[in-house]
Amino acid sequence: VTAHLFFDGRRVRVEPGQTVAAALWAAGVRSWRTTRETGAPRGMFCGIGVCFDCLVTVDGTANQRACLVPARPDMVVTTQLGTGR
Amino acid sequence: MTLPRTGPSGSLPLTYDVAVVGAGPAGLAAAASAAAAGCRVALLDAAPAAGGQYWRGRDPGVALSGVDVMTGSAVWFVSPGFSVHRQGGGTVTAGRLVFATGGYDRALPFPGWDLPGVVTPGAAQALLKGSGVPIGNQVVVAGAGPFLLPVATGLVATGVKVVGVYEAGDPTRYARAPGAVAGAGGKVREAAGYLATLARHRVPYRTRHAVVAAHGVASVSSVDVGRLDRSGGLVPGSVRQVECDAVAVAYGFTPQLELPLALGCATQLDPDGSLVLSVDVAGQTSVPGVYAAGEVTGVGGAALAEVEGRLVGAAVALATGHPCPLSEVELARLLARRSALRRFAALMHRVHAPPAGWPAWLAENTVVCRCEDVPVHRIRAAIAELGATDGRTVKSLCRPGMGWCQGRVCGYPVAELTARWLGRPLTAGDLAAFAHRPIAQPVRLGDLYRHRP
Protein backbone atom coordinates (compact mmCIF):
# COMPACT_ATOMS: atom_id res chain seq x y z
CA VAL A 1 0.00 0.00 0.00
CA THR A 2 1.43 3.38 -0.97
CA ALA A 3 1.47 6.01 1.79
CA HIS A 4 0.87 9.69 1.10
CA LEU A 5 0.93 13.01 2.85
CA PHE A 6 -1.00 16.04 1.69
CA PHE A 7 0.86 19.16 0.59
CA ASP A 8 -1.39 22.15 -0.10
CA GLY A 9 -4.13 19.66 -0.99
CA ARG A 10 -1.93 17.58 -3.31
CA ARG A 11 -1.06 13.92 -2.61
CA VAL A 12 2.68 13.38 -2.11
CA ARG A 13 4.14 9.90 -1.78
CA VAL A 14 5.93 9.03 1.46
CA GLU A 15 8.65 6.38 1.69
CA PRO A 16 9.65 4.92 5.07
CA GLY A 17 12.47 6.88 6.72
CA GLN A 18 11.96 10.05 4.68
CA THR A 19 11.77 13.52 6.13
CA VAL A 20 9.00 15.91 5.06
CA ALA A 21 11.59 17.82 2.98
CA ALA A 22 12.69 14.61 1.23
CA ALA A 23 9.12 13.56 0.41
CA LEU A 24 8.35 17.00 -1.04
CA TRP A 25 11.67 17.15 -2.92
CA ALA A 26 11.10 13.68 -4.43
CA ALA A 27 7.71 14.92 -5.68
CA GLY A 28 9.40 17.84 -7.43
CA VAL A 29 8.43 20.46 -4.85
CA ARG A 30 11.29 22.93 -4.31
CA SER A 31 9.70 25.59 -2.07
CA TRP A 32 7.20 25.52 0.80
CA ARG A 33 7.67 28.83 2.55
CA THR A 34 7.71 32.54 1.67
CA THR A 35 9.90 35.09 3.45
CA ARG A 36 8.37 37.65 5.81
CA GLU A 37 9.80 40.77 4.15
CA THR A 38 9.81 40.11 0.42
CA GLY A 39 7.60 37.04 0.06
CA ALA A 40 10.39 35.17 -1.76
CA PRO A 41 9.99 31.38 -2.07
CA ARG A 42 12.20 29.16 0.10
CA GLY A 43 12.66 25.44 0.55
CA MET A 44 15.58 23.36 1.75
CA PHE A 45 19.03 24.88 2.18
CA CYS A 46 21.28 23.25 4.83
CA GLY A 47 19.29 20.02 5.06
CA ILE A 48 20.43 19.27 8.64
CA GLY A 49 18.34 21.55 10.85
CA VAL A 50 20.75 24.48 11.12
CA CYS A 51 19.41 27.19 8.78
CA PHE A 52 15.64 27.18 9.44
CA ASP A 53 15.04 28.03 5.77
CA CYS A 54 12.80 24.98 5.32
CA LEU A 55 10.21 25.99 7.92
CA VAL A 56 6.75 24.73 7.05
CA THR A 57 3.36 24.21 8.64
CA VAL A 58 2.72 20.57 9.63
CA ASP A 59 -0.74 19.51 10.86
CA GLY A 60 -1.53 23.11 11.68
CA THR A 61 1.68 23.85 13.61
CA ALA A 62 3.87 26.48 11.92
CA ASN A 63 7.67 26.77 11.94
CA GLN A 64 8.52 23.07 11.71
CA ARG A 65 11.88 22.21 10.11
CA ALA A 66 10.90 20.08 7.10
CA CYS A 67 14.43 18.61 6.92
CA LEU A 68 14.10 17.11 10.43
CA VAL A 69 10.42 16.18 10.78
CA PRO A 70 9.80 12.55 9.71
CA ALA A 71 7.16 12.29 6.97
CA ARG A 72 4.14 10.29 8.10
CA PRO A 73 1.15 9.00 6.15
CA ASP A 74 -1.81 11.43 6.03
CA MET A 75 0.21 14.32 7.44
CA VAL A 76 -1.15 17.68 6.31
CA VAL A 77 1.67 19.96 5.16
CA THR A 78 0.90 23.51 4.06
CA THR A 79 3.05 26.26 2.60
CA GLN A 80 4.02 28.70 5.33
CA LEU A 81 3.49 32.34 4.43
CA GLY A 82 5.72 34.75 6.36
CA THR A 83 5.67 33.99 10.07
CA GLY A 84 3.02 31.32 9.56
CA ARG A 85 0.61 33.15 11.83
CA MET B 1 16.08 29.61 37.16
CA THR B 2 18.24 28.09 39.90
CA LEU B 3 20.01 24.85 39.15
CA PRO B 4 22.04 22.69 41.52
CA ARG B 5 25.70 23.64 41.30
CA THR B 6 27.96 20.63 41.35
CA GLY B 7 31.03 19.68 39.44
CA PRO B 8 34.49 18.22 39.70
CA SER B 9 34.70 19.64 43.26
CA GLY B 10 30.97 19.53 44.02
CA SER B 11 29.34 17.39 46.64
CA LEU B 12 25.98 16.39 45.13
CA PRO B 13 25.79 12.88 43.71
CA LEU B 14 26.12 12.93 39.93
CA THR B 15 24.36 10.67 37.55
CA TYR B 16 27.30 10.30 35.15
CA ASP B 17 31.04 10.79 35.22
CA VAL B 18 30.81 12.37 31.79
CA ALA B 19 28.16 13.51 29.32
CA VAL B 20 29.29 13.53 25.69
CA VAL B 21 27.24 15.86 23.49
CA GLY B 22 27.27 14.80 19.84
CA ALA B 23 27.50 11.22 18.56
CA GLY B 24 29.54 11.69 15.41
CA PRO B 25 33.06 10.27 14.98
CA ALA B 26 34.51 12.39 17.83
CA GLY B 27 31.71 11.82 20.33
CA LEU B 28 31.46 8.08 19.64
CA ALA B 29 35.21 7.67 20.14
CA ALA B 30 35.22 9.77 23.31
CA ALA B 31 32.29 7.86 24.81
CA ALA B 32 33.75 4.45 23.94
CA SER B 33 37.18 5.40 25.24
CA ALA B 34 35.89 6.75 28.57
CA ALA B 35 33.51 3.81 29.04
CA ALA B 36 36.32 1.33 28.36
CA ALA B 37 38.11 2.78 31.39
CA GLY B 38 35.04 2.27 33.58
CA CYS B 39 33.50 5.75 33.43
CA ARG B 40 29.74 6.13 33.63
CA VAL B 41 29.03 7.77 30.26
CA ALA B 42 25.97 9.43 28.72
CA LEU B 43 26.13 10.05 24.96
CA LEU B 44 23.53 12.51 23.63
CA ASP B 45 22.62 13.35 20.06
CA ALA B 46 19.74 15.21 18.42
CA ALA B 47 19.39 12.68 15.59
CA PRO B 48 17.25 9.52 15.85
CA ALA B 49 20.41 7.38 15.52
CA ALA B 50 24.04 7.75 16.57
CA GLY B 51 26.69 8.40 13.90
CA GLY B 52 26.44 12.11 13.13
CA GLN B 53 26.47 13.52 9.63
CA TYR B 54 29.52 11.39 8.79
CA TRP B 55 28.10 7.94 9.55
CA ARG B 56 24.47 8.86 8.78
CA GLY B 57 22.50 5.65 8.35
CA ARG B 58 25.59 3.40 8.44
CA ASP B 59 27.01 1.39 11.34
CA PRO B 60 29.96 3.29 12.86
CA GLY B 61 31.27 -0.01 14.26
CA VAL B 62 32.08 1.50 17.66
CA ALA B 63 31.59 -0.67 20.76
CA LEU B 64 29.43 1.34 23.14
CA SER B 65 28.99 -1.16 25.98
CA GLY B 66 28.59 0.72 29.22
CA VAL B 67 27.45 3.90 27.44
CA ASP B 68 23.91 5.23 27.91
CA VAL B 69 23.12 6.32 24.35
CA MET B 70 20.42 9.00 24.27
CA THR B 71 19.44 9.67 20.69
CA GLY B 72 16.64 12.05 19.81
CA SER B 73 18.09 14.28 22.53
CA ALA B 74 18.67 17.78 21.20
CA VAL B 75 20.49 19.70 23.93
CA TRP B 76 19.22 23.24 24.26
CA PHE B 77 21.12 24.42 27.34
CA VAL B 78 23.97 23.33 29.58
CA SER B 79 24.36 24.88 33.00
CA PRO B 80 27.44 24.81 35.25
CA GLY B 81 27.69 21.81 37.41
CA PHE B 82 26.94 20.28 34.85
CA SER B 83 23.31 19.88 33.88
CA VAL B 84 22.55 19.01 30.28
CA HIS B 85 19.01 20.03 29.34
CA ARG B 86 17.27 18.12 26.59
CA GLN B 87 14.66 19.55 24.22
CA GLY B 88 11.28 18.19 25.18
CA GLY B 89 12.41 17.72 28.78
CA GLY B 90 14.77 15.61 30.79
CA THR B 91 18.06 16.66 32.31
CA VAL B 92 21.29 14.69 32.52
CA THR B 93 23.86 15.61 35.14
CA ALA B 94 27.55 14.83 34.86
CA GLY B 95 30.83 15.85 36.47
CA ARG B 96 32.58 16.29 33.13
CA LEU B 97 31.41 17.30 29.69
CA VAL B 98 32.74 16.52 26.23
CA PHE B 99 31.49 18.72 23.40
CA ALA B 100 31.68 16.90 20.08
CA THR B 101 28.98 18.90 18.33
CA GLY B 102 30.64 18.95 14.90
CA GLY B 103 29.88 21.54 12.28
CA TYR B 104 27.85 22.43 9.25
CA ASP B 105 28.52 23.77 5.74
CA ARG B 106 29.89 27.30 5.51
CA ALA B 107 27.92 29.07 2.79
CA LEU B 108 28.91 32.34 1.12
CA PRO B 109 26.27 34.61 -0.40
CA PHE B 110 26.13 35.33 -4.13
CA PRO B 111 23.33 36.68 -6.33
CA GLY B 112 20.64 34.00 -6.51
CA TRP B 113 21.93 31.86 -3.61
CA ASP B 114 18.48 32.17 -2.00
CA LEU B 115 16.70 30.59 -4.99
CA PRO B 116 15.03 27.24 -4.23
CA GLY B 117 17.27 24.47 -5.55
CA VAL B 118 20.47 26.14 -4.34
CA VAL B 119 21.53 24.11 -1.31
CA THR B 120 24.68 23.17 0.61
CA PRO B 121 26.64 20.01 -0.24
CA GLY B 122 25.69 18.75 3.22
CA ALA B 123 22.01 19.08 2.30
CA ALA B 124 22.55 17.12 -0.91
CA GLN B 125 24.37 14.41 1.05
CA ALA B 126 21.78 14.27 3.85
CA LEU B 127 18.91 14.05 1.35
CA LEU B 128 20.61 11.26 -0.61
CA LYS B 129 22.04 9.20 2.27
CA GLY B 130 19.24 9.89 4.73
CA SER B 131 16.17 9.69 2.52
CA GLY B 132 17.38 8.21 -0.77
CA VAL B 133 16.40 11.28 -2.78
CA PRO B 134 18.87 12.90 -5.22
CA ILE B 135 19.03 16.70 -5.03
CA GLY B 136 18.38 17.09 -8.77
CA ASN B 137 18.72 15.54 -12.20
CA GLN B 138 21.37 17.94 -13.49
CA VAL B 139 23.50 19.06 -10.58
CA VAL B 140 26.34 21.54 -10.11
CA VAL B 141 28.61 20.84 -7.13
CA ALA B 142 30.76 23.81 -6.14
CA GLY B 143 32.60 25.66 -3.40
CA ALA B 144 35.79 24.52 -1.76
CA GLY B 145 37.11 21.53 0.12
CA PRO B 146 37.51 17.76 -0.12
CA PHE B 147 33.85 17.20 0.88
CA LEU B 148 32.70 18.21 -2.63
CA LEU B 149 34.15 14.95 -3.99
CA PRO B 150 32.09 12.36 -2.04
CA VAL B 151 28.97 14.49 -2.61
CA ALA B 152 29.52 14.53 -6.38
CA THR B 153 30.43 10.83 -6.62
CA GLY B 154 27.47 9.88 -4.42
CA LEU B 155 25.13 11.59 -6.88
CA VAL B 156 26.88 10.04 -9.90
CA ALA B 157 26.54 6.58 -8.33
CA THR B 158 22.74 6.97 -8.25
CA GLY B 159 22.66 7.88 -11.94
CA VAL B 160 22.34 11.64 -11.50
CA LYS B 161 24.06 13.82 -14.08
CA VAL B 162 26.61 16.01 -12.32
CA VAL B 163 27.26 18.75 -14.87
CA GLY B 164 30.41 19.94 -13.16
CA VAL B 165 32.40 20.12 -9.93
CA TYR B 166 33.85 23.61 -9.45
CA GLU B 167 36.53 23.83 -6.74
CA ALA B 168 37.67 27.35 -5.86
CA GLY B 169 40.98 26.17 -4.43
CA ASP B 170 44.05 24.91 -6.24
CA PRO B 171 44.64 21.30 -5.10
CA THR B 172 47.95 21.15 -7.00
CA ARG B 173 49.27 23.11 -4.00
CA TYR B 174 49.11 19.88 -1.97
CA ALA B 175 52.16 18.74 -3.94
CA ARG B 176 54.18 21.59 -2.45
CA ALA B 177 53.84 20.13 1.05
CA PRO B 178 54.69 16.43 0.56
CA GLY B 179 55.48 15.96 4.26
CA ALA B 180 52.02 17.03 5.43
CA VAL B 181 50.36 14.96 2.69
CA ALA B 182 52.37 11.82 3.50
CA GLY B 183 51.19 12.04 7.12
CA ALA B 184 47.58 11.65 5.98
CA GLY B 185 48.05 8.96 3.34
CA GLY B 186 44.53 7.56 3.58
CA LYS B 187 43.01 10.89 2.58
CA VAL B 188 44.97 11.11 -0.65
CA ARG B 189 43.94 7.58 -1.62
CA GLU B 190 40.30 8.43 -0.88
CA ALA B 191 40.39 11.62 -2.97
CA ALA B 192 42.09 9.80 -5.85
CA GLY B 193 39.28 7.22 -5.82
CA TYR B 194 36.61 9.92 -6.05
CA LEU B 195 38.45 11.73 -8.87
CA ALA B 196 38.75 8.46 -10.79
CA THR B 197 35.00 7.87 -10.46
CA LEU B 198 34.23 11.39 -11.69
CA ALA B 199 36.61 10.95 -14.64
CA ARG B 200 35.02 7.60 -15.51
CA HIS B 201 31.61 9.30 -15.69
CA ARG B 202 33.09 12.23 -17.64
CA VAL B 203 32.17 14.72 -14.92
CA PRO B 204 34.28 17.87 -15.39
CA TYR B 205 36.33 18.70 -12.25
CA ARG B 206 37.51 22.31 -12.58
CA THR B 207 39.80 23.85 -10.01
CA ARG B 208 40.12 27.62 -9.35
CA HIS B 209 36.51 27.99 -10.54
CA ALA B 210 33.53 29.33 -8.64
CA VAL B 211 29.77 29.73 -8.98
CA VAL B 212 29.26 33.52 -8.87
CA ALA B 213 25.51 33.77 -9.58
CA ALA B 214 22.40 31.58 -9.84
CA HIS B 215 19.43 32.26 -12.11
CA GLY B 216 15.88 30.99 -12.21
CA VAL B 217 12.27 31.92 -11.61
CA ALA B 218 10.58 29.48 -9.21
CA SER B 219 13.82 27.56 -8.71
CA VAL B 220 17.37 27.53 -10.06
CA SER B 221 17.76 26.83 -13.80
CA SER B 222 21.36 27.92 -14.42
CA VAL B 223 24.47 29.25 -12.71
CA ASP B 224 27.29 31.57 -13.78
CA VAL B 225 30.67 29.88 -13.38
CA GLY B 226 33.91 31.84 -13.60
CA ARG B 227 37.64 31.18 -13.40
CA LEU B 228 39.65 32.52 -10.48
CA ASP B 229 43.11 34.07 -10.64
CA ARG B 230 45.91 33.25 -8.16
CA SER B 231 44.64 35.78 -5.66
CA GLY B 232 41.07 34.45 -5.70
CA GLY B 233 39.61 37.14 -7.94
CA LEU B 234 37.31 36.49 -10.87
CA VAL B 235 39.14 36.47 -14.23
CA PRO B 236 37.38 39.07 -16.44
CA GLY B 237 35.54 37.53 -19.38
CA SER B 238 35.77 34.00 -17.96
CA VAL B 239 32.13 33.71 -16.80
CA ARG B 240 29.89 31.28 -18.62
CA GLN B 241 26.41 29.98 -17.96
CA VAL B 242 25.85 26.34 -16.97
CA GLU B 243 22.33 24.87 -17.02
CA CYS B 244 21.26 22.84 -13.99
CA ASP B 245 18.25 22.11 -11.78
CA ALA B 246 20.16 22.05 -8.47
CA VAL B 247 23.37 23.53 -7.05
CA ALA B 248 25.22 22.24 -3.98
CA VAL B 249 27.70 24.90 -2.89
CA ALA B 250 29.68 25.77 0.28
CA TYR B 251 33.19 26.69 1.36
CA GLY B 252 34.30 24.42 4.17
CA PHE B 253 32.55 24.12 7.52
CA THR B 254 31.56 26.15 10.56
CA PRO B 255 31.98 24.50 13.98
CA GLN B 256 28.84 24.35 16.13
CA LEU B 257 29.78 26.17 19.34
CA GLU B 258 26.68 27.52 21.06
CA LEU B 259 26.72 25.14 24.05
CA PRO B 260 30.41 25.57 25.00
CA LEU B 261 30.13 29.34 24.41
CA ALA B 262 27.20 29.49 26.83
CA LEU B 263 29.49 27.96 29.48
CA GLY B 264 32.15 30.59 28.77
CA CYS B 265 34.71 28.41 26.97
CA ALA B 266 37.47 30.50 25.38
CA THR B 267 37.69 30.60 21.58
CA GLN B 268 40.23 31.53 18.94
CA LEU B 269 40.39 32.13 15.19
CA ASP B 270 41.48 29.04 13.23
CA PRO B 271 43.46 29.32 9.94
CA ASP B 272 40.28 28.63 7.90
CA GLY B 273 38.58 31.70 9.40
CA SER B 274 36.40 29.67 11.77
CA LEU B 275 35.83 30.42 15.42
CA VAL B 276 37.01 27.31 17.34
CA LEU B 277 37.41 26.29 20.99
CA SER B 278 40.81 26.76 22.59
CA VAL B 279 41.87 23.43 24.13
CA ASP B 280 44.96 22.18 25.94
CA VAL B 281 46.95 19.07 25.05
CA ALA B 282 44.34 16.88 26.81
CA GLY B 283 41.46 18.48 24.91
CA GLN B 284 40.23 20.45 27.93
CA THR B 285 38.74 23.90 27.27
CA SER B 286 39.34 26.99 29.41
CA VAL B 287 36.45 25.87 31.66
CA PRO B 288 37.63 23.13 34.08
CA GLY B 289 35.89 19.83 33.43
CA VAL B 290 34.73 20.81 29.93
CA TYR B 291 36.48 19.00 27.09
CA ALA B 292 36.08 19.18 23.31
CA ALA B 293 36.89 16.95 20.35
CA GLY B 294 36.43 17.04 16.61
CA GLU B 295 35.41 19.97 14.40
CA VAL B 296 34.74 22.26 17.39
CA THR B 297 38.49 22.38 18.08
CA GLY B 298 39.27 23.08 14.41
CA VAL B 299 37.77 21.62 11.24
CA GLY B 300 39.82 18.57 10.28
CA GLY B 301 37.56 15.74 9.16
CA ALA B 302 36.37 12.43 10.59
CA ALA B 303 39.76 10.74 11.04
CA LEU B 304 41.11 13.59 13.18
CA ALA B 305 37.82 13.81 15.07
CA GLU B 306 38.03 10.14 16.02
CA VAL B 307 41.62 10.44 17.22
CA GLU B 308 40.76 13.51 19.29
CA GLY B 309 37.73 11.70 20.71
CA ARG B 310 39.78 8.71 21.86
CA LEU B 311 42.33 10.99 23.52
CA VAL B 312 39.69 13.12 25.25
CA GLY B 313 37.92 9.99 26.50
CA ALA B 314 41.20 8.87 28.05
CA ALA B 315 41.80 12.31 29.57
CA VAL B 316 38.34 12.27 31.15
CA ALA B 317 38.95 8.75 32.50
CA LEU B 318 42.17 9.84 34.19
CA ALA B 319 40.56 13.01 35.57
CA THR B 320 37.78 10.97 37.19
CA GLY B 321 40.15 8.53 38.86
CA HIS B 322 39.85 5.70 36.35
CA PRO B 323 42.75 3.88 34.71
CA CYS B 324 43.93 5.10 31.32
CA PRO B 325 42.11 3.07 28.63
CA LEU B 326 45.13 3.42 26.32
CA SER B 327 48.47 1.64 26.53
CA GLU B 328 51.60 3.80 26.34
CA VAL B 329 52.15 2.61 22.78
CA GLU B 330 48.57 3.47 21.76
CA LEU B 331 48.81 6.85 23.43
CA ALA B 332 52.04 7.71 21.61
CA ARG B 333 50.57 6.52 18.31
CA LEU B 334 47.38 8.59 18.76
CA LEU B 335 49.31 11.73 19.72
CA ALA B 336 51.52 11.36 16.64
CA ARG B 337 48.49 10.73 14.45
CA ARG B 338 46.76 13.81 15.89
CA SER B 339 49.80 15.97 15.05
CA ALA B 340 50.00 14.60 11.52
CA LEU B 341 46.28 15.07 10.84
CA ARG B 342 46.31 18.60 12.29
CA ARG B 343 49.27 19.45 10.04
CA PHE B 344 47.27 18.12 7.08
CA ALA B 345 44.18 20.10 8.14
CA ALA B 346 46.23 23.32 8.24
CA LEU B 347 47.42 22.59 4.70
CA MET B 348 43.84 21.78 3.61
CA HIS B 349 42.67 25.15 4.93
CA ARG B 350 45.34 26.94 2.88
CA VAL B 351 44.51 24.99 -0.29
CA HIS B 352 40.73 25.34 -0.01
CA ALA B 353 40.45 28.84 1.50
CA PRO B 354 37.33 30.78 0.49
CA PRO B 355 38.26 32.80 -2.60
CA ALA B 356 39.36 36.28 -1.53
CA GLY B 357 37.32 37.90 -4.30
CA TRP B 358 33.87 36.67 -3.17
CA PRO B 359 32.54 40.04 -1.93
CA ALA B 360 32.98 41.39 -5.47
CA TRP B 361 30.35 38.91 -6.72
CA LEU B 362 27.62 40.40 -4.55
CA ALA B 363 25.03 42.77 -5.96
CA GLU B 364 23.74 45.57 -3.71
CA ASN B 365 20.40 43.78 -3.33
CA THR B 366 21.85 40.30 -2.73
CA VAL B 367 20.35 38.87 0.46
CA VAL B 368 23.07 38.15 3.03
CA CYS B 369 20.94 37.27 6.07
CA ARG B 370 18.37 34.81 4.73
CA CYS B 371 16.19 34.87 7.84
CA GLU B 372 15.83 38.65 8.25
CA ASP B 373 16.03 39.49 4.52
CA VAL B 374 19.05 41.78 5.02
CA PRO B 375 20.61 42.80 1.68
CA VAL B 376 24.21 43.85 1.05
CA HIS B 377 23.41 47.56 0.90
CA ARG B 378 22.06 47.63 4.47
CA ILE B 379 25.24 46.05 5.82
CA ARG B 380 27.32 48.48 3.77
CA ALA B 381 25.28 51.40 5.14
CA ALA B 382 25.68 50.19 8.74
CA ILE B 383 29.44 50.47 8.28
CA ALA B 384 29.86 53.38 5.84
CA GLU B 385 27.04 55.64 7.04
CA LEU B 386 26.18 54.58 10.59
CA GLY B 387 29.77 54.01 11.71
CA ALA B 388 29.76 50.35 12.81
CA THR B 389 33.32 49.12 13.44
CA ASP B 390 32.62 45.54 14.48
CA GLY B 391 30.31 42.63 13.73
CA ARG B 392 28.26 43.12 16.87
CA THR B 393 27.35 46.70 15.96
CA VAL B 394 26.48 45.74 12.38
CA LYS B 395 24.15 43.12 13.84
CA SER B 396 22.50 45.66 16.14
CA LEU B 397 22.05 48.24 13.37
CA CYS B 398 20.59 46.14 10.54
CA ARG B 399 19.63 42.77 12.06
CA PRO B 400 21.77 40.16 10.23
CA GLY B 401 21.98 37.09 12.45
CA MET B 402 18.92 38.00 14.52
CA GLY B 403 16.42 35.72 12.82
CA TRP B 404 15.47 32.06 13.09
CA CYS B 405 18.96 30.65 12.48
CA GLN B 406 20.58 33.14 14.89
CA GLY B 407 23.53 33.86 12.61
CA ARG B 408 24.49 30.27 11.98
CA VAL B 409 24.43 30.86 8.21
CA CYS B 410 25.22 34.58 7.77
CA GLY B 411 27.59 34.94 10.74
CA TYR B 412 30.76 34.20 8.81
CA PRO B 413 29.92 36.26 5.70
CA VAL B 414 28.72 39.28 7.70
CA ALA B 415 31.82 39.13 9.92
CA GLU B 416 34.04 38.90 6.81
CA LEU B 417 32.27 41.76 5.01
CA THR B 418 32.54 43.92 8.13
CA ALA B 419 36.29 43.32 8.37
CA ARG B 420 36.83 43.80 4.61
CA TRP B 421 34.89 47.04 4.39
CA LEU B 422 36.72 48.39 7.41
CA GLY B 423 40.04 47.45 5.79
CA ARG B 424 41.21 45.21 8.63
CA PRO B 425 41.62 41.44 9.18
CA LEU B 426 38.75 39.27 10.44
CA THR B 427 38.87 38.83 14.23
CA ALA B 428 37.53 36.18 16.60
CA GLY B 429 35.38 38.96 18.10
CA ASP B 430 33.60 39.60 14.79
CA LEU B 431 32.67 35.91 14.59
CA ALA B 432 31.80 35.63 18.27
CA ALA B 433 29.17 38.37 17.82
CA PHE B 434 27.19 35.90 15.70
CA ALA B 435 28.05 32.69 17.58
CA HIS B 436 26.62 33.34 21.06
CA ARG B 437 23.24 31.59 21.28
CA PRO B 438 22.47 30.83 24.92
CA ILE B 439 19.46 28.76 23.85
CA ALA B 440 20.88 26.28 21.37
CA GLN B 441 17.67 24.69 20.08
CA PRO B 442 14.07 25.87 19.69
CA VAL B 443 12.29 25.15 22.96
CA ARG B 444 8.60 25.48 23.76
CA LEU B 445 7.50 27.59 26.71
CA GLY B 446 5.23 24.73 27.74
CA ASP B 447 8.22 22.38 27.97
CA LEU B 448 10.09 24.91 30.11
CA TYR B 449 7.13 25.12 32.45
CA ARG B 450 6.64 21.36 32.71
CA HIS B 451 10.30 20.68 33.47
CA ARG B 452 10.99 23.64 35.73
CA PRO B 453 13.38 22.75 38.53
Q: pLDDT truncated to tens, each residue of chain B (453 aa)? A: 333 333 344 444 459 999 999 999 999 999 999 999 999 999 999 999 999 999 987 888 888 988 999 999 999 999 998 999 998 778 999 999 999 999 999 999 999 999 999 999 999 999 999 999 999 999 999 999 999 999 999 999 999 999 999 999 999 999 899 989 988 878 888 999 999 999 999 999 999 999 999 999 999 999 999 999 999 999 999 999 999 999 999 999 999 999 999 999 999 999 999 999 999 999 999 999 999 999 999 999 999 999 999 999 999 999 999 999 999 999 999 999 999 999 999 999 999 999 999 999 999 999 999 999 999 999 999 999 999 999 999 999 999 999 999 999 999 999 999 999 999 999 999 999 999 998 999 988 887 787 666
Which residues of B are less than 8 Å from A35 in CB distance? 370, 373
Name the residue facing B104 among A17, A46, A63 (closest C-beta).
Answer: A46
Per-chain mean pLDDT for chain B: 94
Alpha carbon distance A35, A82 (integer Å): 5
Cβ pairs bridging A and B (under 8 Å): 103
Name the residue facing B123 among A17, A36, A45 (closest C-beta).
Answer: A45
Alpha carbon distance B312, B306 (integer Å): 10
Per-chain mean pLDDT for chain A: 96
User: Phi-psi category of B277—alpha, beta or left, where left has phi over 0 and alpha has psi -120 to 50?
Assistant: beta
Mean of the pLDDT values across residues A34-39?
92
Alpha carbon distance B188, A73 (integer Å): 44
Alpha carbon distance B355, B362 (integer Å): 13
Res A47: pLDDT: 97
Name the residue facing A36 among B104, B133, B373 (closest C-beta).
Answer: B373
Inter-chain residue contact B122 with A15, CB threshold 8 Å: no
Alpha carbon distance B139, B161 (integer Å): 6
Inter-chain residue contact A41 with B123, CB threshold 8 Å: no
- Tell me the shortest Cα–Cα distance from A40 to chain B, in angstroms: 8
Name the residue facing B218 among A26, A37, A41 (closest C-beta).
Answer: A41
Interface of B with A in 133-152 (CB under 8 A): 133, 135
Q: What ipTM was estimated for this complex?
A: 0.97
Q: Nearest to residue B247, comparing CAs of B156, B104, B413, B120? A: B120
Which residues of A are less than 8 Å from B130 in CB distance? 17, 19, 22
Cβ distance B416 to B426 under 8 Å?
yes
By the 10 Å C-beta count (0-12 exposed, 13-18 middle, 19+ buried), B154 is classed as buried
Alpha carbon distance A33, B241 (integer Å): 28
